[in-house]
Amino acid sequence: MKKFIPFGILLIVIVLALIYPSVTLTTVKDSKIDTGDTAWLLVSTALVLIMTPGLAFFYGGMVSKKNVLSTMLQSFVCMGVITVIWVIFGFSLAFGEDKLGGFIGDPSTFFMMKGTLGNATWELAPTIPLILFAMFQLKFAVITPALITGAFAERIRFNSYVIFLCLFMVFIYAPLAHATWHPKGFLFGKGVLDFAGGTVVHMSAGWAALASAIYLKGRNEASHNPARISYVLLGTGLLWFGWFGFNAGSALGSGALAATALATTTTASAAAAMAWMFFDILRGKKPGVMGACIGAVVGLVAITPAAGFVTIPHSLIIGIVAAVVSNLVVIWRTKTSIDDTLDVFPCHGVGGMVGMLLTGVFAHQNVNGANTTGNGLYYGETHLFIIHLITLIGVSAFAFFGSFILLKVTDMISKLRVTPEEELAGLDISQHDEEL
């Protein structure tokens, strides 16, 4: 019976698609859809999607050889599972009509992509089609649970992981996306600035990763050599390439703001890659491929919330500070019993928090007129920084404890951890009957 459930769900999807074909054409007078903005967002959507296979290579190269395929599939499967959820009701939860005081959307608003045909647009993106905005945001929802997988790599049952990522999407990601990016969202109303997902994506994934590492406990074989460092380098390149869509695409147009976000993304990542490598040299280590790659990704993470709110010089500071802080947290983590396999919390969680706080330090309204909250602490104003500090605490608690509860629920439905024998054999064989 259990084997029938996954395929049975797809049969239900077929029935829903037949009942709700969503063929009604939406026609809006005086539509402002712009072909240039639309073209850029089409490209950005594709760029963000390629980040998930990039992440698969990034993580897959770091684990032991017997777990490469399993680790990569954990990222790849998000492109399938999350897409189906998003089309049915996920987009509505994140961007539908507000419910519950700015914390969640009405799941019926865009049910089965209802009302997305024609020239309908999103309120804050009036120059691109609504369906394109929905697909662009889908790619953010896809990669977020994939980021978590590095924390419990090499010891989680695949079927249980799929259940967890569905729960995470509905109960953690969607509420945070709605609260932060919906014009009636709770955090949006408080003036929280998150240009492309420092809070919604990286902090939520980072804290879920820490909860996962604690809940699943350590591996039986915690030490290993990375299977393919060349995969890590390839994955970093794909992530950096795709991140231009992630950040510059979040300008939701092809104007000057997109160019600024692209520039800050470039400089922060470059500075962070150098900072991680040079900090390792300062500690007496040799410069390495892994360090440069991890540093580059930390810089990308940290600039994400700030990309469209800070200047180019300040993006350098954000990249350098985030790399050093994350490096120090990795050192601290190795001295604890927490087995965050690929240091997702120190890199994505901490990197996202550093980026969020430094947005509150360096944001300036001359960079982005949509910032009505005020300038950052560096310019002598305290309001924005205080809001970000309070939000950081609240989001951290929500993401950590919420994820811990979801892990427990998942474990009750389907055991999360593989057996010691399955772990010893490797997840490629024990979970997928395949090997590298």
pLDDT tens digits in sequence order for the chain, 436 residues long: 678 888 999 999 999 999 999 999 988 888 899 999 999 999 999 999 999 999 999 999 999 999 999 999 999 999 999 999 999 999 999 999 998 899 999 999 999 999 999 999 999 999 999 999 999 999 999 999 999 999 999 999 999 999 999 999 999 999 999 999 999 999 999 999 999 999 999 999 999 999 999 999 999 887 778 999 999 999 999 999 999 999 999 999 999 999 999 999 999 999 999 999 999 999 999 999 999 999 999 999 999 999 999 999 999 999 999 999 999 999 999 999 999 999 999 999 999 999 999 999 999 999 999 999 999 999 999 999 999 999 999 999 999 999 999 999 999 999 999 999 999 999 999 999 999 8
Residue 418's closest CA among 209, 223, 159, 74? Answer: 159
Question: Residue 345 gets which letter from DSSP?
Answer: I
Q: How many residues does the chain have?
A: 436
**299 near 322, Cβ under 8 Å?**
yes
Residue written as tokens 């474990």? Answer: 411
**293 near 231, Cβ under 8 Å?**
no
Neighbour-count burial of 62, counting CB atoms closer than 10 A to its CB (0-12 exposed, 13-18 middle, 19+ buried): buried
Three-state DSSP state, 227:
coil
DSSP H or E stretch at residue 104: strand 104-105
d(CA 326, CA 349) in angstroms, rounded, equals 9
Neighbour-count burial of 123, counting CB atoms closer than 10 A to its CB (0-12 exposed, 13-18 middle, 19+ buried): exposed
Rg of the chain over CA atoms, in angstroms? 21
For the entire predicted model, the pTM comes to: 0.96
d(CA 334, CA 177) in angstroms, rounded, equals 32
Return the exposure string of 343-352: e unless at least 16 CB atoms fall within 10 Å of the residue's CB, then b: bbbbbbbbbb
How large is the greatest C-alpha to C-alpha distance in the chain, in angstroms?
A: 65
CATH topology of domain 32-415: Ammonium transporter fold (1.10.3430)
Give φ, ψ of 339 to 5 degrees.
Answer: -100, 75
Query: In degrees, to the nearest 5, what angle opens at C-alpha 128 toward C-alphas 126 and 131?
Result: 110
Three-state DSSP state, 26:
strand
Show the DSSP H helices in 347-382 as ranges.
350-362
d(CA 28, CA 35) in angstroms, rounded, equals 16
Any bridge partners for residue 122, and if so which? Answer: 125
